Amino acid sequence: MFYVFIGLLIGIVTGVLQFLLLFKFVTSVTGGKFGSKTVMFAITQFLFPFAVLVVCAFLISDSLMWVGIGIASALIICAVVKFVFASKLGKSNNKKTDNKSEKKQKTKPDNKSKKKSEKKN
């Protein structure tokens, strides 16, 4: 029973670390930075869970299934939490920018409309 908890804990830690590596890799690729650091993230993100599973297979093979469950569940939970926070921040940022743009439009008259009214007079 003790090895089950150890395996689950190892899996959760591995899953969180793999999510962080994957997040750094994706942000660097989508940001247009494709250098040696990005390649290192890609290789590490691919080999890290494999290495952890191989080590656990040799040391605590009874709880290998729990390590895999921990990795998968930690990846899913981290992705959902990241999505929820990003969507909430995106909504709040959009509301703030919308309010600022509305205030600017209300307080500052448009220069084009001034020029049109001057031309008519």
pLDDT tens digits, 45-88: 889 999 999 999 999 888 899 999 999 999 999 999 999 998 88
Terminal Cα-to-Cα distance of the chain (whole angstroms): 89
- Spell out the domain ranges in the chain: 7-90
Rounded percentage of the chain residues whose pLDDT exceeds 70: 76
Predicted TM-score (pTM) of this structure:
0.70
Mean pLDDT for 85-100 is: 72
Are 48 and 18 in contact by the 8 Å Cβ rule? The answer is yes
What pLDDT shows up at residue 3? 79
Are 8 and 69 in contact by the 8 Å Cβ rule? The answer is yes
9 against 38, higher pLDDT: 9
CA dist 87 to 3, 27, 28, 81, Å?
38, 17, 20, 10
d(CA 90, CA 100): 15
What pLDDT shows up at residue 45? 86
Specify the length of the chain in residues. 121
What burial class does residue 41 get, using C-beta atoms within 10 Å of its C-beta: 0-12 exposed, 13-18 middle, 19+ buried?
buried
What pLDDT shows up at residue 89? 82
74 against 43, higher pLDDT: 74
Which of 17-26, 67-76, 106-115 has the least mean pLDDT? 106-115
